[in-house]
Amino acid sequence: MTNRRLPDGNNVPPTAHPTKLRIELPEPSDRFDQDSEFCLVEIDGTWQKIRFHDYDRIFAIPGLYEQLFHDILDCRSPDVVGKLLKEEIQRDNVDASSLRVLDLGAGNGLVAEQLRTVGAGYLFGVDIIPEARHAALRDRPEVYDEYLVADLTALSGQDTASLSQSRCNTLSCVAALGYSDIPPSAFRAAFNFISDGGWIAFTIKDRFLSDEDTSGFAKLIERCQEAGVLQVRSSERYRHRLNVGGEPLHYVALVGTKQADIPADLVH
């Protein structure tokens, strides 16, 4: 495996086989909201407490994300959204290689790797933290064609030009919406970079699409459909992963097509 030369000149060595980590979860009797879940990880002989949403710390430790969320907590989201998207493009006889994907909340490239399996021809990753980009190029150096570290609600002129010139026709966003990680305004910004008629594929916690929603996404998705901005083609409620107590956390995966940009007044 060769190292990938990034546009900014950084050369990040890939990590093919990260060392198995020692990870401890809280006692099953302890109850935590998803936003406050944590684990203990042994690093150089010392146990460190790491909150699940402290992604900068998680991505800095090779293999932790996969071992924690996929091996221990059995995360299924990348597989589910990949399956739904594949079914919809096959229904429309779309060549998967024509998909030019903007992967929002890209992290270390696990979702992008799944989309490459589906057959996507181009992948542009976007995340707000530099640790995510470093981890993606460390762990999956051949997955992304471009990877931008940026706040989509405060883009520079150069970053706006890069995203526009990418000509993306598909948006993916998996398990990153809500909990203040990606607010509705950032989702709107990413959505509006996708060409009209393009594919929209994302997952979100089921509560954020219900009357109990506090994230703003339930209203946004409802308004987008009512305004004819988003046409939902398929949706599936599924078990995203287990929580630290071994109980299921349910999300909803949606795949649809973009009909027009999201106007600013639909985001409140």
Per-residue pLDDT band for 17 (boundaries 50, 70, 90) equals: very low
Asked if residue 12 has pLDDT above 80, the reply is no
Overall pTM surpassing 0.75 (yes/no): yes
- Domain residues of the chain, as ranges? 4-72, 77-266
Token digits for 16? 């093919």
CATH topology of domain 77-266: Rossmann fold (3.40.50)
34-59: pLDDT as tens digits: 777 999 999 999 999 999 989 999 99
Q: Which DSSP string do the residues of 151-201 spell out, in sequence order? A: -TTS--HHHHHHHHHTT--EEEE-S-SBTTTB-HHHHHHHHTTSPTT-EEE
Whether the per-residue pLDDT at 32 is higher than 50: the answer is: yes
Q: What is the pLDDT of residues 151-160, one digit of tens each?
A: 999 999 999 9
Q: What is the pLDDT of residue 31?
A: 65
User: What is residue 18's predicted lDDT score, i.e. its pLDDT?
Assistant: 57
Cβ atoms of residues 59 and 135 within 8 Å? yes
Across the chain, mean pLDDT equals 89
